[in-house]
């Protein structure tokens, strides 16, 4: 069964540590490598550009990671840049043979409102953008910003420009106010690439039931994430906790809007049994033990395939 994964931070790690090698055997400092994607049968992996807090956020810092995406990840044999529906079919469709890499930006801070940088990134393959990470920036407040403000005027025009270019809006990390303003503003379906259900785990990064219903109503997508403290706040998280979040979203009418966004390489503690892309097979087995195969296929890649095919120009 081919897998789609909507979020990982391998690019940011590659940027910070020049010794890391994308094509090295898995387990050598990177969770997501050419080898681990093959071992996990990942058909499509989204790669987020993320500039860590405390480092200079300039267009150059983002473009350097975009260059790594092209130089290291896309240069590996059998990797295909995912820009449109035909690319999605080539990596997730029934005759898929290649693996797809989709370029995302986690936080627009470093663009500094420069539209040439956004358009250039789009030409380099950018197809998914989160307005901000946890803090406030020129576009919007993040969920950990105590002020809790929503989108700025510039942020609103960024959403419009992304939609015009065909860049999907990612609401993971947004403040609640930012989420609702985006939902109202968006003319296209949007997604939460790596967030869980707050009703089950009360971390602010997780989505409330109302937010989940709004994503479903907008024909959007929710990538359930393997970050242990977004799955379970009281004990070590395990694969069962992933199932609890899947099943909760199903009770809210979201069964056909669930996907996964692991956050591999963005975490340093792991959910038991989910230490890298190769472990998707264990998750698939656990899902199949409790749910019908067509639904499980949808969660593992079918819904991401439909969402991306429908919404990437
Ligand atoms: Zn994140």
Distance CA 78, CA 286 (A): 29
Question: Which CATH architecture fits 3-311?
Answer: Alpha-Beta Barrel (3.20)
Task: Write phi, then psi, for 148 (nearest 5 degrees).
Answer: 65, 30
Residue count of the chain: 313
CA of 292 from ligand 1 middle (Å) equals: 30
Residue spans per domain, the chain:
3-311
Helices 239-251 & 280-290, crossing angle to 10 degrees?
Answer: 50
CA of 55 from ligand 1 middle (Å) equals: 17
CA of 95 from ligand 1 middle (Å) equals: 32
**pLDDT by position in tens, the chain (length 313):** 899 999 999 999 999 998 998 887 766 789 999 999 999 999 999 999 999 988 899 999 999 999 999 999 999 889 999 999 999 999 999 999 999 999 999 999 999 889 999 999 999 999 999 999 999 999 999 999 999 999 999 999 999 999 999 999 999 999 999 999 999 999 999 999 999 999 999 999 999 999 999 999 999 999 999 999 999 999 999 999 999 999 999 999 999 999 999 999 999 999 999 999 999 999 999 999 999 999 999 999 999 999 999 999 7
Query: Under a CB-based contact definition with an 8 Å cutoff, are residues 8 and 264 in contact?
Result: yes
138-176: burial string, b at 16+ Cβ within 10 Å, e else:
bbbbbbebeeeebbbeebbebbeebbebebbbbbbbbbb
CA of 259 from ligand 1 middle (Å) equals: 16
């Amino acid at each position: 069964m081919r897998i789609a994964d909507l979020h990982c931070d391998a690019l940011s790690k590659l940027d910070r540590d020049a010794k890391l090698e994308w094509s090295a055997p898995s387990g050598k400092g990177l969770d997501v490598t050419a080898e681990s994607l093959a071992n996990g049968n990942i058909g499509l992996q989204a790669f987020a550009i993320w500039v860590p807090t405390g480092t200079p956020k300039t267009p150059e810092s983002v473009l350097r990671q975009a260059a790594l995406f092209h130089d290291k990840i896309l240069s590996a044999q059998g990797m295909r840049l995912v820009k449109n529906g035909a690319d999605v079919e080539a990596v997730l469709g029934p005759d898929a043979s290649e693996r797809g890499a989709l370029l995302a930006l986690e936080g627009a801070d470093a663009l500094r409102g420069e539209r040439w940088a956004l358009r250039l990134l789009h030409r380099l393959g950018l197809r998914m953008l989160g307005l901000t990470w946890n803090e406030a920036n020129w576009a919007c407040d993040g969920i950990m910003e105590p002020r809790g403000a929503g989108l700025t005027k510039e942020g609103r025009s960024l959403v419009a420009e992304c939609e015009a270019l065909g860049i999907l809006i990612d609401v993971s990390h947004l403040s609640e106010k930012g989420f609702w303003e985006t939902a109202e503003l968006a003319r296209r379906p949007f997604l939460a690439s790596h967030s869980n259900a707050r009703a089950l785990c009360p971390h602010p990064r997780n989505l409330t039931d109302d937010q989940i219903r709004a994503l479903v109503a907008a024909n959007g997508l929710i990538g359930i994430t393997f970050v242990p403290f977004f799955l379970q706040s009281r004990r070590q998280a395990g694969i069962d906790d992933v199932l609890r979040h899947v099943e909760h979203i199903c009770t809210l009418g979201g069964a056909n809007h669930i996907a996964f966004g692991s956050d591999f390489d963005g975490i340093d503690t792991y959910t038991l049994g989910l230490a890298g892309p190769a472990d998707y097979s264990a998750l698939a087995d656990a899902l199949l033990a409790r749910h019908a195969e067509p639904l499980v296929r949808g969660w593992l890649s079918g819904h991401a395939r439909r969402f991306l095919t429908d919404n990437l120009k």
